[in-house]
């Protein structure tokens, strides 16, 4: 990714990005690596994509280390965070971006298994990863950025309500964690993407559903992963966002205006 601006403060910083093999996570990995950060590329099932991205970043002169874990498995996720810290030489930042809908299911049909899968993937995982990263972040301050969603505020589209509820959890954890961790010099914030053209929607939304959602966006188009990058760079920057704590930045083309 060619960046039209520079963040010298990221040079040499160690940043772990979960869900970094495709979509928003991959765009973030390219962006932070382009600024000189050493990036941990977490992935689960998309190993080929993660390896290809690591090669791409390396060929561009950056540093990226693929790290595999199922974020729904707490022990595996804790191990992945420790692996990232070891391979990157510590941690200066954590971006909890991994997540998903699992499947579309109406509230009237939600099972205990549906609830467990979605909450483990989207809610519990950010607690586990953040807690595992905390000892490393405490050593030199830093940041945590959670990826929540427009669905946390608008109830999500049909069958996505459980996903939206899990992301509402993420938004509220952002505020509570921010209050507790700022005393350690760690700023915690979140980004709430709207409808972004990524493998997420290729998996969970039909073309008709995407067109219906696009029609509700005042800007007249769906977002791209790169549209989200600036919000994360801003929140990660002490120079630009040093007094920004516990906030959720909406990136949705005007689809939701709180």
Q: What is the pLDDT along the chain (258 residues), one digit of tens a residue?
A: 555 678 999 999 999 999 999 999 999 999 999 999 999 999 998 889 999 999 999 999 999 999 999 999 999 999 999 999 999 999 999 999 999 988 889 999 999 999 999 999 999 999 999 999 999 999 999 999 999 999 999 888 777 889 999 999 999 999 999 999 999 999 999 999 999 987 776 776 788 888 888 898 999 999 999 999 999 999 999 999 999 999 999 999 999 887
Q: Residue 258 and residue 250: Cα distance in Å, rounded?
A: 9
Convert 63-117 into a string of H (helix), E (strand) and C (coil).
Answer: EEEEEECCCCCHHHHHHHHHHHHHHHCCCCEEEECCCCCCCCCCHHHCCHHHHHH
* Most distant pair of Cα atoms in the chain: their distance: 51
Residue 210 pLDDT: 83
**Is 243 labeled as catalytic in the residue annotation?**
no
CA–CA gap between residue 116 and residue 136 (Å, rounded): 29
Cα Rg, the chain, nearest whole Å: 17
How many angstroms separate the CA atoms of 188 and 245, rounded? Answer: 6
| Catalytic residue selected from 163, 204, 232, 243 | 163
Q: Which CATH architecture has domain 8-194+227-243?
A: 3-Layer(aba) Sandwich (3.40)
How far, in Å, CA of 189 to CA of 191, rounded?
A: 7
Residue 19: both structure tokens together: 């869900």
Q: State both tokens at 74.
A: 């707490």
What residue segments make up the domains of the chain, in order of their start? 8-194+227-243
Residues making up the chain, counted from first to last: 258
pTM of the full predicted structure?
Answer: 0.94
Could you count the other beta carbons within 10 Å of the beta carbon of residue 127? 16
């Amino acid at each position: 990714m060619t960046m039209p601006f520079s963040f010298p403060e990221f040079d040499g910083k160690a940043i772990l990005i979960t869900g970094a093999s495709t979509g928003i996570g991959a765009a973030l990995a390219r962006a932070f690596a382009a600024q000189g950060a050493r990036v941990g590329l977490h992935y689960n099932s998309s190993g080929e994509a993660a390896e290809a991205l690591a090669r791409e970043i390396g060929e561009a002169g950056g540093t990226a280390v693929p790290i595999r874990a199922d974020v729904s498995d707490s022990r595996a996720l804790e191990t992945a965070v420790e692996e990232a810290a070891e391979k990157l030489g510590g941690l200066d930042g954590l971006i909890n971006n991994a997540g998903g809908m699992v499947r579309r299911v109406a509230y009237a049909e939600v099972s205990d298994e549906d609830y467990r899968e979605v909450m483990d993937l989207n809610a519990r995982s950010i607690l586990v990863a953040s807690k595992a990263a905390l000892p490393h972040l405490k050593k030199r301050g830093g940041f945590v950025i959670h990826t929540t969603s427009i669905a946390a505020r608008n109830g999500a589209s049909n069958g996505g309500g459980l996903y939206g509820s899990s992301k509402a959890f993420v938004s509220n954890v952002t505020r509570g964690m921010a209050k507790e961790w700022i005393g350690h010099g760690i700023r915690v914030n979140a980004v709430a993407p709207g409808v972004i053209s990524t493998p997420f929607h290729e998996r969970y939304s039909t073309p008709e559903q995407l067109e219906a959602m696009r029609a509700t966006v005042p800007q007249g188009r769906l977002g791209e992963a790169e549209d989200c990058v600036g919000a994360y760079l801003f929140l990660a920057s002490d120079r630009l966002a040093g007094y920004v704590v516990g906030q959720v930045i909406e990136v949705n083309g005007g689809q939701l205006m709180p």
